[in-house]
Amino acid sequence: MCLCAIIVSIMERLISGTSRLGLNLSAEQFDQFEVYYRELIDWNTRMNLTAITGYENVQVNHFLDALTVTPVWQERENCDRPRVIDVGTGGGIPGVPLRIAFPVMRLVLLESTAKKAAFLHHLCGQLGLDEVETVVGRAEEIAHRKQYREGFDLVLSRAVAPLPTLVELTLPFCSVGGFFIGHKRGDIDTELEQATAAISTLGGELREVRAVDLPEFPDHRCLVIIEKVSPTPEKYPRRPGIPAKRPLHS
């Protein structure tokens, strides 16, 4: 049996999920996911990267969950080499699975914890991913650096903060005409309502809340899609900790 067949037969949950998403990944890409799984579990014994460690669970709740952005992104992408940033990426979710699936992406992984960033740096080396930059720092500070501010076509973030805080941490990275896509779960009506003024203040417009319609996720997951329609005022994001402490509520 060739190596490809072995790999394809292993990542069954990811294979069935990605095909439902209309994604046709190669044996080499599944091989990269296999390496990702092994590295994540190995480093997780020495640091707190994830509470999800089971082989099937990681395939579904990390890798496939990250890739649910795919249909939305494919509908909206309008450039050959999109610049993408994952804010508060932790162990690389959702940025790394998307970069494995879409090698054309130029990806920045932003993480405030240096140890996690060291893992990401190691991981990208093991996966042979080029044009992936790991940045250690807080979004509140990094978003004021010229080379990152409004420099991305797509801004991603999962499990970092409630929406009123999250939009302040993410929209300043988004170029005008670009999009923020945030993974959320459960009833987010209140969060959305509370984020309305912040989205507008930061130069965004809510385009859609798209339900993730896959049998793997019966727990009401959705993607919040915000388009950047005007520049973010210079004063945002505010100092580290302030967006969480005093969110820009409606």
Rounded CA separation 242/164 (Å):
12
Least Cβ distance, residue 90 to ligand SAM (angstroms):
2
Under rule CB under 6 A, residue 90 binds ligand SAM: yes
Under rule CB under 6 A, residue 83 binds ligand SAM: no
Binding ligand SAM by CB under 6 A: which of 89, 134, 170, 232? Answer: 89
Q: Closest-CB residue for ligand SAM? A: 90
Rounded CA separation 77/135 (Å):
24
Binding ligand SAM by CB under 6 A: which of 169, 195, 224, 248? Answer: 169
Q: Measuring CA to CA, which residue among 162, 175, 155 is closest to residue 245?
A: 162
Q: Judged by CB, which is closer to ligand SAM: 100, or 169?
A: 169
Under rule CB under 6 A, residue 160 binds ligand SAM: yes
Binding ligand SAM by CB under 6 A: which of 16, 44, 113, 196? Answer: 113
Q: What is the residue whose two structure tokens read 């292993």?
A: 10
Residue 163 structure tokens:
């929406």
Least Cβ distance, residue 93 to ligand SAM (angstroms):
4
Binding ligand SAM by CB under 6 A: which of 13, 99, 116, 228? Answer: 116
First to last CA, the chain: 60
Binding ligand SAM by CB under 6 A: which of 7, 93, 100, 163? Answer: 93
Q: Judged by CB, which is closer to ligand SAM: 7, or 161?
A: 161
Q: Judged by CB, which is closer to ligand SAM: 71, or 240?
A: 240
Rounded CA separation 26/38 (Å):
19
Residues that bind ligand SAM (CB under 6 A): 88-91, 93, 110-113, 116, 138-140, 158-160, 169
